[in-house]
């Protein structure tokens, strides 16, 4: 992967590459199909975040400091074995504005196969409004660069908007990820752990419709639905 990636679709990406969408091709089903997981039998974990004016430093979505393990806390597995496995849980990021060098996603290619949060090859992922990117939750990545308090870039960062959902293999690790993320999400919105929000088992479906946007670009519009989705 190069030093800057514009979210363009790849013809046949390797299992852990980033994948985005622009224009009328490829089709939404091809774009959303879980090529990175090597199977059509996947589940939605129940994880769904919307970010507005939010950014985070270098981290892995496989772990959580709040859970006591920033590398593997969501998956409940020692990092010595977790980072030797094929991709099992992937996140889809949906970007609602054009990104810049300041507010774009940053990733460390290859870090899904090694523990540690210090990036070795920090790389920008530049997106247009409506683009999406799919990445392994184990990869080390970061959000926007936080400017100084008196910077004119601060207002633009406050308006930064993005949304994220996570899918995975129908496996014990994906279900562990789903349960741990539901605990986090309930805590963030002030709900008790016995509330009925979401699905700890991950058996929820996201039906995605493809809407043409301006200049021929496409948009994701997720709709909640019933049980497991097979592409």
Q: Mind listing the pLDDT tens digit for each residue in 69-123? A: 787 778 878 888 888 888 889 999 988 888 888 778 899 999 999 888 899 999 9
Does any domain span residue 197? yes
Q: Note whether residue 231 is domain-resident.
A: no
Higher per-residue confidence, 218 vs 161: 161
Asked whether residue 159 is domain-assigned, the answer is yes
On the CB side of 161, CA atoms within 13 Å amount to: 5
Q: Is residue 136 part of a domain?
A: yes
- Residue 229 inside a domain? The answer is no
Most confident of 8-17, 39-48, 129-138, 213-222: 129-138
Q: Work out the average pLDDT over 14-39.
A: 43
Integer Cα distance of 211 and 202 in angstroms: 26
Which residue from 30, 81, 44, 63 is spatially nearest to 169, judged by alpha carbons? 44
> Each residue of 170-210: pLDDT tens digit?
888 899 888 887 776 666 666 555 544 444 333 333 333 33
Q: What element of type H or E holds 124?
A: strand 123-125
Q: Please report whether residue 230 resides in a domain.
A: no
Number of domains in the chain: 1
Q: What is the mean pLDDT of the chain?
A: 67
Burial class (CB in 10 A: 0-12, 13-18, 19+), 177: buried
Instruction: Give the predicted TM-score (pTM) of the model.
Output: 0.63
Identify whether 76 is part of a domain: yes
Domain of 58, in residue numbers: 4-224
Domain annotation covers residue 215: yes
């Amino acid at each position: 992967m190069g030093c800057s990636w514009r979210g363009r679709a790849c013809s046949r990406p390797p299992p852990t590459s980033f994948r985005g969408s622009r224009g009328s091709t490829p089709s939404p089903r091809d774009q959303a199909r879980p090529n990175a997981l090597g199977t059509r039998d996947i589940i939605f974990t129940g994880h769904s975040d919307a970010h507005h004016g939010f950014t985070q430093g270098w981290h892995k979505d496989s772990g959580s400091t709040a859970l006591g393990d920033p590398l593997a806390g969501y998956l409940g597995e020692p990092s010595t074995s977790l980072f030797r496995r094929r991709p099992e849980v992937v996140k889809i990021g949906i970007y609602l504005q054009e990104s810049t060098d300041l507010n774009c996603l940053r990733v460390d290619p290859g870090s899904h196969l090694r523990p540690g949060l210090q990036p070795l090859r920090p790389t920008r992922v530049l997106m247009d409004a409506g683009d999406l990117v799919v990445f392994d939750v184990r990869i080390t990545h970061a959000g926007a660069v936080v400017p100084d308090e008196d910077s004119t870039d601060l207002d633009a960062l406050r308006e930064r908007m993005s949304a994220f959902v996570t899918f995975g293999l129908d496996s014990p690790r994906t279900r562990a990820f789903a349960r741990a993320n539901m605990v986090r999400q309930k805590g963030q919105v002030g709900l008790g752990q016995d509330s009925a929000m979401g699905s700890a088992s991950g058996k929820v479906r996201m039906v995605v419709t493809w809407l043409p946007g301006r200049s021929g670009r496409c948009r994701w519009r997720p709709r909640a639905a019933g049980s497991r989705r097979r592409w």
